[in-house]
């Protein structure tokens, strides 16, 4: 066999090999490059969106900044790849991004295609009420039975979703989020059922106007994700997120949490590690 | 187009669609009935000898006819309660569509009234009818026959406007179609079926009105 041909075939085979990282390569690659390539969106406050100065901001972005800070001591050393929701998995698979933080719900199906980090938020559905309205909290809404109208974004199983929490409530489905909030504002609905994060963000933006009914259900976990196959890189990101939520970077994480969700987190208890409680 | 049609998910919900169509038709019939009353009053108002009456009728027709119906629906449903007027979902929509229909029909009726020969009114008064009775027994019936073709056009248009009730979560045909669409992801099929139902319903309304036209036609 011709030596040249062998070389050519080997080369072609190498080129065609999927872009699966070798253990340890990614961390070195990112450190050598000098900045992190973060995949996220730009249209979903408070997760990832453009602020007044046209800069990406939000809770997802802050998670990426936490990782950049851990890598380079500078949270701004990030190159953003703005991607739509359906590009999250492909861009990881092809190695276009080092890390994706884009309110990604952890599912077993997705976990077969990407590697999820540890969670950084638990999303769920909550009920938004008007401050000083007829119903003070979840118990009151439940007692109100079918007199209570709940506005919700039209979606698959929207009615069943509301009825899980309030079995007798009347459900009005609107086809946009602003109509849903308008229904609440004009007294057309006693409560609006929406994602906890959206509800919190809405309350941060309109202080003193709304109340959280204090009940959450339909849990789903948000985590960042990396390309599968590089345990070293995954461990590194996990460690950064973990220390953000429990250790030295807690002030960074909790400041961000308070900024976007309006809740001050309790500092992790000193002594026995909180995560094993 | 490489697409496998699947109408089964849509047909499975035919009861919802039928229910929605029923509600849509009821909304239209009620609103058209009320709107016809408002339209007649406004038409006579615009032709009144009294300047303030003329002015009020004209202001009503201009204000309503020049506002998009969707804006009127949202205004009545979301803004009026905060101004102290609270109508429930369905009455709120019927109210809006009636007011809207009134403004359009007023122009149709005004056209019909202007086209009537003056002799009709004079004849009525000559045989001793009052001004009001002349309107009821002579002017309106003759005018109605004349404007029936353009009235049919408006009726069909108003029936289609009931699809906008979906915005304020009134469960009519479009609302259910949207719901089936979101739940089945059968976008093409759902909207195709909804369109066909609208076409069929409008066709039936139009042919009924045409038969009415033929029966009431003034022999020439």
Q: What is the pLDDT of residues A84-113, one digit of tens each?
A: 988 999 999 999 999 999 999 999 989 999
Kindly state the average pLDDT of the residues B84-97.
93
Chain B residue closest to A153 (CA)?
Answer: B169
Report DSSP state, residue A137: S
Q: What is the pLDDT of residues A12-38, one digit of tens each?
A: 544 444 455 556 689 999 999 999 999
pLDDT at B1: 65
Size of interface A-B (CB pairs under 8 A): 39
Kindly state the average pLDDT of the residues B84-91.
90
The CATH architecture annotation of domain B8-216 reads Orthogonal Bundle (1.10)
Q: Which residues pair with A80 in a beta bridge?
A: A38
pLDDT at A18: 46
- Burial-class residue B39 by CB neighbours within 10 Å (0-12, 13-18, 19+): buried
Which residues in B lie closer than 8 A to residue A160 (C-beta atoms)? none
The helix (H) or strand (E) run that includes residue A92 is: helix A88-93
* Residues on B contacting A at a C-beta cutoff of 8 Å: 74, 77-79, 81-82, 86, 89, 166-169, 175, 178-179, 182-183
Nearest by CB to residue B81, choosing from A154, A173, A188, is A188
Q: Binning pLDDT at 50, 70 and 90, where does residue A251 land?
A: very high
Cα separation, B206 vs B193, in Å, equals 20
ipTM: 0.71
Chain B residue closest to A180 (CA)?
Answer: B168
SS3 at position A116: strand
Q: What is the pLDDT of residues B13-39, one digit of tens each?
A: 899 999 999 999 999 999 999 999 999
Length of chain B: 220
For residue B153, the tally of other CB atoms under 10 A from its CB is: 14
Nearest by CB to residue B169, choosing from A156, A172, A185, is A172
Q: Where in chain B are the domains?
A: 8-216
pLDDT(B69) > 70: yes
CA-based nearest residue to B161, from B63, B72, B79? B72
How far away is chain A from the Cα of B108, in angstroms, using its nearest Cα? 34
Task: Retrieve residue B156's tokens.
Answer: 């069909």
What's the CA angle centered on B28, arms B76 and B157, to 5 degrees?
A: 95
Chain B residue closest to A159 (CA)?
Answer: B179
In this structure, the strands spanning A115-130 and A191-195 are: antiparallel
pLDDT at A1: 44
Kindly state the average pLDDT of the residues A161-187.
92
Which residues in A lie closer than 8 A to residue B77 (C-beta atoms)? 186, 188
CB contact under 8 A, B183 and A156: yes
Q: What is the pLDDT of residues B123-150, one digit of tens each?
A: 999 999 999 999 999 999 999 999 998 9
Which residues in B lie closer than 8 A to residue A186 (C-beta atoms)? 77-79, 81-82
pLDDT at A2: 54
Cα separation, B58 vs B65, in Å, equals 10
Cα separation, B115 vs B43, in Å, equals 13
CB contact under 8 A, B81 and A154: no
Kindly state the average pLDDT of the residues B198-202.
96
Give Cα separations from B185 to A104, A264, B112, B179 (angstroms): 22, 40, 48, 10
pLDDT(A56) > 80: yes
Report DSSP state, residue A6: H
pLDDT at A20: 53
Q: What are the structural domains of chain A?
A: 18-114+227-276 (3.40.190.10), 124-219 (3.40.190.10)
Cα separation, A171 vs A153, in Å, equals 10
Q: Which one has a higher pLDDT value, A252 or A18?
A: A252
Q: Binning pLDDT at 50, 70 and 90, where does residue B6 land?
A: confident
Q: What are phi and psi of A171, to 5 degrees?
A: -110, 125
Report DSSP state, residue A105: B
pLDDT at B123: 93
Task: Retrieve residue A185's tokens.
Answer: 């504002």
Of A147, A157, A173, A178, which to mutate for an interface test with B (greatest number of B Cβ within 10 Å)? A173
CA-based nearest residue to B154, from B207, B206, B92? B206
Q: Which residue has the tokens 């698959």?
A: A156
pLDDT at B182: 79
CB contact under 8 A, B81 and A187: yes
Q: Is A142 on the interface with B (CB under 8 A)?
A: no
Task: Retrieve residue B194's tokens.
Answer: 């909804």
Which residues in B lie closer than 8 A to residue A169 (C-beta atoms)? none
The CA-to-CA distance between both ends of chain A, in Å, stands at 65
Report DSSP state, residue A247: S
pLDDT(A11) > 70: no
Largest Cα span, chain A: 86
Q: What is the pLDDT of residues A207-231, one digit of tens each?
A: 999 999 999 999 999 999 999 999 9
Cα separation, B146 vs B142, in Å, equals 7
């Amino acid at each position: 066999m011709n030596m040249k041909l062998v070389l050519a075939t080997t080369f072609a085979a190498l080129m065609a090999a999927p872009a699966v990282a070798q253990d340890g390569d990614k961390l070195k690659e990112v450190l050598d490059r000098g900045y992190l390539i973060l995949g996220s969106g730009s249209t979903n406050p408070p997760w990832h969106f453009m602020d007044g100065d046209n800069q990406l901001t939000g809770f997802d972005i802050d998670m990426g900044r936490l990782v950049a800070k851990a890598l380079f001591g500078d949270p701004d050393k990030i190159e953003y790849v703005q991607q739509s929701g359906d590009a999250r998995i492909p861009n990881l698979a092809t190695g276009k991004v080092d890390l994706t933080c884009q309110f990604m719900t952890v599912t077993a199906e997705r976990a077969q295609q990407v590697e999820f980090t540890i969670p950084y938020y638990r999303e769920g559905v909550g009920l938004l009420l008007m401050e000083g309205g007829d119903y003070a909290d979840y118990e009151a809404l439940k007692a109100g039975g079918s007199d209570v109208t709940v506005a919700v974004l039209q979606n698959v199983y929207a009615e069943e979703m509301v009825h899980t929490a309030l079995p007798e409530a009347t459900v009005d489905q609107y086809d946009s989020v602003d109509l849903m909030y308008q229904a609440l504002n004009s007294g057309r609905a006693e409560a609006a059922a929406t994602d906890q994060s959206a509800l919190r963000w809405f309350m941060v933006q309109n202080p003193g106007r709304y109340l959280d009914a204090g009940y959450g259900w339909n849990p789903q976990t948000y985590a960042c994700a990396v390309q599968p196959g590089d345990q070293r890189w995954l461990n590194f990101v996990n460690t950064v997120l973990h220390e953000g939520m429990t250790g030295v970077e807690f002030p960074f994480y909790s400041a961000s949490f308070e900024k976007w969700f309006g809740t001050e987190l309790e500092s992790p208890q000193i002594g026995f590690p909180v995560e094993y409680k | 187009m490489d697409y496998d049609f699947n109408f089964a998910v849509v047909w499975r919900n035919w009861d919802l669609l039928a229910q929605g169509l029923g509600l849509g038709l009821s909304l239209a019939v009620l609103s058209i009935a009320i709107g016809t009353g408002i339209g007649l009053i406004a038409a006579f108002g615009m032709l009144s000898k009294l300047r303030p009456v003329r002015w009020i009728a004209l202001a009503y027709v201009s204000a309503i006819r020049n506002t998009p119906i969707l804006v009127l629906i949202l205004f009545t449903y979301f803004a009026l309660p905060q101004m102290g007027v609270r109508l429930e979902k369905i009455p709120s929509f019927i109210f809006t569509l009636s007011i809207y229909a009134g403004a359009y029909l007023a122009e149709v009726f005004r056209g019909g009234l202007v086209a009537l020969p003056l002799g009709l009114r004079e004849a009525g008064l000559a045989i001793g009818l009052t001004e009001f009775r002349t309107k009821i027994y002579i002017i309106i019936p003759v005018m109605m026959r004349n404007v029936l073709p353009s009235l049919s056009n408006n009726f069909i248009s108003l029936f289609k406007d009931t699809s906008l009730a979906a915005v304020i979560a009134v469960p009519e045909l479009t609302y259910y179609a949207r719901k089936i669409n979101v739940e089945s992801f059968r976008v093409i099929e759902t909207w195709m079926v909804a369109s066909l139902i609208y076409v069929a319903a409008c066709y039936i309304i139009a042919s009924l009105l045409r038969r009415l036209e033929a029966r009431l036609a003034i022999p020439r």
